[in-house]
Amino acid sequence: MRFTGKTIIVTGAGSGIGAAAAQRFDAEGGHVVLVGRTASKLDAVAKGLKDAEPWPMDAGVSDDWYKLADHLHSAGRHADVVVNNAFVLEKLPAHELTEASWDRQIAVDLSAVYYSVRAFMPDLIAAKGNIVNVASVHGIISWKLHPAYAASKGGMLALTRQLAIEYGDNVRVNSVVPGPIVTPIWDEVTQDELDLTATETALGRMGTPEEVAAAIAFLASDDASFITGAQLVVDGGQTVKART
């Protein structure tokens, strides 16, 4: 029960890693704020939890973060942990990607971290809390058709280190770096493609959202009290194998 009495904000909480992280924090006693753009998905996740509230919003819009902060404060709550997990992805080569798509992916996948800091850093400083950013192996190694996503995830890793330095006296800031994880984004991929992706890892399989959620919860807990500015790679050895 590492998060008893604490309020944890999880973006992208309607499915995949975000939903698994919300379940993990709830199981360990936290009050979880489920953030996402689709209210029905958030409601479905919330129904399976003991102490959670859905909050539909767009993580890529700064004003939505301030509205969430106002809501929590009016309810007598403050943020102890912020998990930046929301993302969007459009797969195209850079010269075919529209400016609107580029801007949207950067807003949700990277700028949302900045927005969360603007809205909740006073809370986190007061609580001696922490931020966990969910990055990606795309920020470390590269595949075709991911220009904006790779740029944003690489930027997230750099921003994580910078924030750790900026707020080191009061707030820990870390990132997890998932590799191939079985989430809804893979639903339209063929079994042959899934099998091929599994062979790219040292463990020979894809990971589960729950395995990433365990890493997120660890970094957010006092068990990681001397860890900040880190990037915890949860990829089954994919990045290691890619470099051999």
Per-residue model confidence (pLDDT) at position 233: 98
Would you say residue 52 lies in a domain?
Answer: yes
Would you say residue 244 lies in a domain?
Answer: no
Q: Which of 154, 205, 144, 145 is nearest to 180 (CA)?
A: 205
Q: Count how many domains the chain has.
A: 1
Residues ≥6 apart with Cβ < 8 Å to 220: 3, 8, 25, 81, 83, 130, 132
Would you say residue 243 lies in a domain?
Answer: no
Per-residue pLDDT tens over the stretch 2-56 = 999 999 999 999 999 999 999 999 999 999 999 999 999 999 999 999 999 999 9
Per-residue pLDDT tens over the stretch 120-140 = 999 999 999 999 999 999 999
* CB-CB contact of 176 with 215 (8 Å): yes
Would you say residue 163 lies in a domain?
Answer: yes
Per-residue pLDDT tens over the stretch 174-214 = 999 999 999 988 888 888 989 999 999 999 999 999 999 99
- Which member of 66, 115, 149, 167 is catalytic? 149
114 as an active site residue: the answer is: no
Q: Which of 164, 158, 179 is nearest to 233 (CA)?
A: 179
Q: What is the mean pLDDT of the chain?
A: 96
Would you say residue 62 lies in a domain?
Answer: yes
pLDDT band for position 69 (cuts 50, 70, 90): very high
The domain that contains 78 carries what CATH number? 3.40.50.720
Would you say residue 1 lies in a domain?
Answer: no
Would you say residue 55 lies in a domain?
Answer: yes
Distances (CA, A) of 205 to 22, 141, 165, 234: 24, 18, 35, 12
Would you say residue 242 lies in a domain?
Answer: no
Q: What is the number of H-type helices and E-type strands within the chain?
A: 9, 7
Main-chain dihedrals φ then ψ at residue 235, nearest 5 degrees:
-135, 15
For residue 121 the two structure tokens come to: 């850093």
* CB-CB contact of 148 with 106 (8 Å): yes
Cα angle 65, 67, 72 (rounded to 5 degrees) comes to 95
